[in-house]
């Protein structure tokens, strides 16, 4: 995750690893004054980064089973407050 100005602290949350989750994602549309939403479903690895202070936590969602059509990546970073655990799954810890 590229960041220039703010401290980014990686970590692992074993309790989240292996859980299936949905992400009500999205963001600003660069170069315009618009924004948009994107939805993902996948499995949490438990890896996270805390961005800046107060910490803004982002979890890594992998093995995506639902993602925007044409989304080329297999992973997405999802903000904690927009993440919904839908299945406790199996812990990878």
Partner 1 sequence: MTSDPLRTKLCDMLDIEYPIIAFTHCKDVVAAVVNAGGFAVLGEAMHSPDEIVADIKWIREKVGDKPYGIDLVLPSSVPPSDSLDKLKDDIPEEQRQFAERIIKEHDVPTPKAEVALHKWGGLNQDMARAQLDVVLEEKVPVFTSGLGNPAFILEAAHSRGIKVFGLVGRARQAKKELEAGIDAIIAQGTDAAGHTGPIGTFSLVPEVAAMAGDTPIIAAGGVTTGRHLAAAICLGAAGVWTGTLWLASRESDSDMIIKEKLLAATSDDTVYGRSVSGMPMRTLKCVWTDEWAKPDAPKTLPAPYQMLLSADYIQAANDHRREDLMFEAAGQGVGFVTEMKPARQIVFDLVEEALDVFDGITADADSAVPAGG
By CB under 8 A, tell whether 16 contacts partner 1.
no
Closest approach of partner 1 to the CB of residue 3, in Å: 6
> What is the size of the binding site for partner 1 (CB under 8 A)?
46
DSSP 21-79: EEEEEEEE-TTSS-EEEEEEEEEEEEEEEEETTTTEEEEEEEEEEE--TT---S-EEEE
Q: What is residue 5's DSSP assignment?
A: S
Q: Which two tokens stand for residue 2?
A: 């590229």
By CB under 8 A, tell whether 56 contacts partner 1.
yes
Closest approach of partner 1 to the CB of residue 14, in Å: 21
Binding site for partner 1 (CB under 8 A): 1-6, 23-38, 40, 51-52, 54-58, 67-73, 75-82, 84
């Amino acid at each position: 995750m590229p960041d220039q100005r703010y401290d980014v602290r990686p970590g692992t949350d074993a309790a989240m690893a292996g859980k299936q989750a949905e992400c009500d994602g999205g963001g600003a549309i660069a170069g315009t004054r618009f924004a948009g939403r994107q939805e993902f479903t996948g499995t949490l690895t438990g890896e996270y980064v805390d961005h800046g202070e107060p910490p803004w936590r982002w979890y890594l969602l992998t093995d995506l089973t639902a993602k925007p059509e044409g989304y080329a990546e297999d992973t997405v970073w999802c903000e904690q407050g927009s993440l919904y655990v839908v299945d406790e799954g199996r812990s990878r810890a």
